[in-house]
Amino acid sequence: MRIYILIFFTLILFTSCKTDPNKQVDEGKVIENKYHSKEIGWTIEIPKGWDVTKRDESQKREDNGLKLVNEANGIDYDASGLKQLISFQKDRVHNFIATSEKFEIEYDGEYEENKVFVKELLYNTYASNGIKVDTVSSKEKIDNLIFDLFKITVYGPDGGILLYQDLYSTYRNGLDFGVNLNYKREKEKMELMRVWKNSKFE
């Protein structure tokens, strides 16, 4: 079971990295402005003016998000198998996060069932913390892969939009591969969409 734990409460923890970006990833390699994951068979450009997120801050984000999900849903999920691939940011609201986790399919439809369960967990986590959200599910093709897309709009107490989250997931090489785009402004959204939709899969 994979849980997208990168929810709104955790975004304030992001800190950019001006040192070696290859020390901030669990798998893959950054060369100049491009990241490549051998396990996924995926290459993406890191846009100019966006910085790789520090590993320790990614871990804090993961730990805090996991705590919120567990408390809201009465579960005890262990995310120790989750790999941080590449995360980069413009600021604390506008960021890109990619992760992977081994997923052994034991029966037909298990992966699809898990995606539905994860969406319910996310919605419950927001609702239990008094945060209003709207959600939409669809499919989207990136390069030659079909992704499940779960779009979340997060609202503030006054009804204004605080954040948009686009959560992509697909089964790839025995892994649950997830990509999260977090944004509010149109300019940063377009930058994120450009590099993500121009991703290449081998």
Overall average pLDDT of the 21-39 stretch: 86
- Give 84: exposed, middle or buried? Use CB within 10 Å, 0-12, 13-18, 19+: buried
Overall average pLDDT of the 119-130 stretch: 85
Examine the pLDDT at 129 and tell me if it is beyond 60.
yes
The pLDDT score that the predictor gives to residue 18 is 56
Question: Which position has the higher pLDDT, 178 or 18?
Answer: 178
- The three state secondary structure string of 161-192 is EEEEEEEEEEEECCEEEEEEEEECCHHHHHHH
Give the single-character DSSP code of 13.
G
Q: pTM for the whole thing?
A: 0.86
Residue 47 structure tokens: 């846009």
The pLDDT score that the predictor gives to residue 71 is 72
pLDDT tier at 167, thresholds 50, 70, 90: very high
The pLDDT score that the predictor gives to residue 41 is 97
Residue 81: CB atoms within 10 A of its CB come to 11
Cα–Cα distance, 64 to 75 (Å, whole number): 15
